[in-house]
Amino acid sequence: MKYEDSDKPLMHLFMHIGKLLNDRLRSSLGGGGIHFGQARILVSLMRHGNLIQRTIGQELHIKPATVTNMVKRMEASGLIERGRDANNDRIINVTLTSKGKEAANFAINVMEQIENDIRSEFTQKEIDKLRNPLERIRNTLGGSDPGI
Protein backbone atom coordinates (compact mmCIF):
# COMPACT_ATOMS: atom_id res chain seq x y z
CA MET A 1 0.00 0.00 0.00
CA LYS A 2 1.30 3.48 -0.87
CA TYR A 3 1.01 6.37 1.52
CA GLU A 4 1.50 10.08 0.92
CA ASP A 5 3.84 11.86 3.34
CA SER A 6 0.89 13.02 5.44
CA ASP A 7 -0.56 9.52 5.48
CA LYS A 8 2.48 7.42 6.37
CA PRO A 9 1.70 4.31 8.41
CA LEU A 10 0.88 5.22 12.00
CA MET A 11 2.44 1.94 13.05
CA HIS A 12 5.89 3.29 12.17
CA LEU A 13 5.34 6.41 14.24
CA PHE A 14 4.17 4.37 17.22
CA MET A 15 7.09 1.97 16.88
CA HIS A 16 9.53 4.89 16.80
CA ILE A 17 7.89 6.57 19.81
CA GLY A 18 7.97 3.24 21.67
CA LYS A 19 11.67 2.81 20.91
CA LEU A 20 12.48 6.36 22.03
CA LEU A 21 10.50 5.87 25.24
CA ASN A 22 12.15 2.50 25.94
CA ASP A 23 15.60 3.98 25.30
CA ARG A 24 14.90 6.89 27.66
CA LEU A 25 13.53 4.61 30.38
CA ARG A 26 16.40 2.14 30.00
CA SER A 27 18.99 4.90 30.22
CA SER A 28 17.37 6.74 33.13
CA LEU A 29 16.47 3.67 35.18
CA GLY A 30 19.86 2.11 34.49
CA GLY A 31 21.41 4.95 36.46
CA GLY A 32 19.69 3.47 39.50
CA GLY A 33 20.67 -0.08 38.63
CA ILE A 34 17.19 -1.28 37.69
CA HIS A 35 15.40 -2.03 34.43
CA PHE A 36 11.87 -1.21 33.33
CA GLY A 37 10.38 -4.60 34.19
CA GLN A 38 11.74 -4.36 37.72
CA ALA A 39 10.53 -0.76 37.99
CA ARG A 40 6.96 -1.80 37.17
CA ILE A 41 7.02 -4.41 39.93
CA LEU A 42 8.69 -2.07 42.44
CA VAL A 43 6.17 0.71 41.79
CA SER A 44 3.23 -1.70 42.07
CA LEU A 45 4.57 -3.00 45.38
CA MET A 46 5.09 0.56 46.63
CA ARG A 47 1.46 1.37 45.83
CA HIS A 48 -0.02 -1.80 47.32
CA GLY A 49 2.34 -2.72 50.18
CA ASN A 50 2.62 -6.35 49.18
CA LEU A 51 1.31 -8.49 46.37
CA ILE A 52 0.93 -12.14 45.54
CA GLN A 53 3.42 -13.19 42.87
CA ARG A 54 0.61 -14.53 40.67
CA THR A 55 -1.21 -11.19 40.85
CA ILE A 56 1.92 -9.35 39.73
CA GLY A 57 2.06 -11.45 36.59
CA GLN A 58 -1.63 -11.32 35.81
CA GLU A 59 -2.13 -7.62 36.43
CA LEU A 60 1.08 -6.40 34.78
CA HIS A 61 0.61 -8.82 31.85
CA ILE A 62 3.89 -10.68 32.51
CA LYS A 63 4.21 -14.43 31.92
CA PRO A 64 4.47 -16.48 35.15
CA ALA A 65 7.95 -17.84 34.34
CA THR A 66 9.19 -14.32 33.63
CA VAL A 67 7.77 -13.04 36.93
CA THR A 68 9.43 -15.92 38.78
CA ASN A 69 12.82 -15.16 37.24
CA MET A 70 12.51 -11.42 37.80
CA VAL A 71 11.40 -11.83 41.40
CA LYS A 72 14.25 -14.26 42.12
CA ARG A 73 16.80 -11.78 40.75
CA MET A 74 15.19 -8.90 42.63
CA GLU A 75 15.27 -10.92 45.84
CA ALA A 76 18.94 -11.81 45.30
CA SER A 77 19.76 -8.12 44.84
CA GLY A 78 17.93 -7.21 48.05
CA LEU A 79 15.05 -5.27 46.50
CA ILE A 80 12.23 -7.55 47.64
CA GLU A 81 11.45 -10.38 50.01
CA ARG A 82 9.35 -13.41 49.14
CA GLY A 83 7.50 -15.63 51.55
CA ARG A 84 4.96 -18.42 51.47
CA ASP A 85 1.47 -17.62 52.62
CA ALA A 86 0.74 -19.00 56.08
CA ASN A 87 -2.50 -20.62 54.90
CA ASN A 88 -1.50 -21.78 51.42
CA ASP A 89 2.00 -22.91 50.41
CA ARG A 90 1.23 -22.30 46.74
CA ILE A 91 0.86 -18.56 47.32
CA ILE A 92 4.03 -16.46 47.34
CA ASN A 93 3.79 -13.02 48.93
CA VAL A 94 6.18 -10.35 47.66
CA THR A 95 7.14 -7.24 49.68
CA LEU A 96 9.65 -4.43 49.31
CA THR A 97 12.76 -4.19 51.43
CA SER A 98 14.10 -0.78 52.46
CA LYS A 99 16.46 -0.98 49.48
CA GLY A 100 13.47 -1.82 47.30
CA LYS A 101 11.57 1.21 48.59
CA GLU A 102 14.49 3.43 47.63
CA ALA A 103 14.60 1.84 44.17
CA ALA A 104 10.81 2.23 43.81
CA ASN A 105 11.04 5.92 44.72
CA PHE A 106 13.84 6.34 42.20
CA ALA A 107 11.72 4.63 39.50
CA ILE A 108 8.69 6.76 40.36
CA ASN A 109 10.80 9.92 40.03
CA VAL A 110 12.20 8.80 36.67
CA MET A 111 8.74 7.94 35.32
CA GLU A 112 7.25 11.20 36.63
CA GLN A 113 10.03 13.21 34.98
CA ILE A 114 9.48 11.52 31.62
CA GLU A 115 5.71 11.96 31.98
CA ASN A 116 6.20 15.65 32.78
CA ASP A 117 8.51 16.08 29.78
CA ILE A 118 5.88 14.55 27.49
CA ARG A 119 3.01 16.53 29.01
CA SER A 120 4.96 19.79 28.74
CA GLU A 121 4.47 19.64 24.97
CA PHE A 122 0.67 19.55 25.22
CA THR A 123 -2.17 21.52 26.74
CA GLN A 124 -4.52 19.65 29.08
CA LYS A 125 -7.18 19.87 26.39
CA GLU A 126 -4.85 18.19 23.88
CA ILE A 127 -3.99 15.46 26.40
CA ASP A 128 -7.68 14.82 27.01
CA LYS A 129 -8.30 14.54 23.25
CA LEU A 130 -5.29 12.29 22.75
CA ARG A 131 -5.98 9.77 25.52
CA ASN A 132 -9.12 8.13 24.11
CA PRO A 133 -7.78 7.41 20.61
CA LEU A 134 -4.54 6.04 22.09
CA GLU A 135 -6.48 3.76 24.44
CA ARG A 136 -8.59 2.55 21.50
CA ILE A 137 -5.43 1.74 19.54
CA ARG A 138 -4.04 -0.18 22.51
CA ASN A 139 -7.32 -2.08 22.89
CA THR A 140 -7.45 -2.82 19.14
CA LEU A 141 -4.02 -4.40 19.43
CA GLY A 142 -5.24 -6.63 22.27
CA GLY A 143 -3.89 -4.68 25.22
CA SER A 144 -5.51 -3.36 28.36
CA ASP A 145 -4.60 -1.21 31.32
CA PRO A 146 -2.47 -2.98 33.92
CA GLY A 147 -4.72 -3.83 36.86
CA ILE A 148 -2.22 -2.75 39.52
What is the SS3 assignment for 82? strand
The string of pLDDT tens digits covering residues 22-59 is 999 999 999 999 999 999 999 999 999 899 999 999 98
Give me the pLDDT at residue 89, please: 87
Identify the DSSP state of 78.
Answer: T
Give yes or no for residue 4 having a pLDDT over 80.
no
- Which CATH number is 26-114 given? 1.10.10.10
Rounded to an integer, what distance in angstroms lies between the CA atom of residue 60 and that of residue 63? 9
Give yes or no for residue 75 having a pLDDT over 60.
yes
Beta strands in 10-143 (DSSP E): 50-52, 80-84, 92-96
pLDDT confidence band for 3 (50 / 70 / 90): low
SS3 content of the chain, % helix, strand, coil (to 5): 65, 10, 25
Q: What is the pTM of this model?
A: 0.85
CB 96 within 8 A of CB 46: yes
Return the domain boundaries, the chain: 26-114
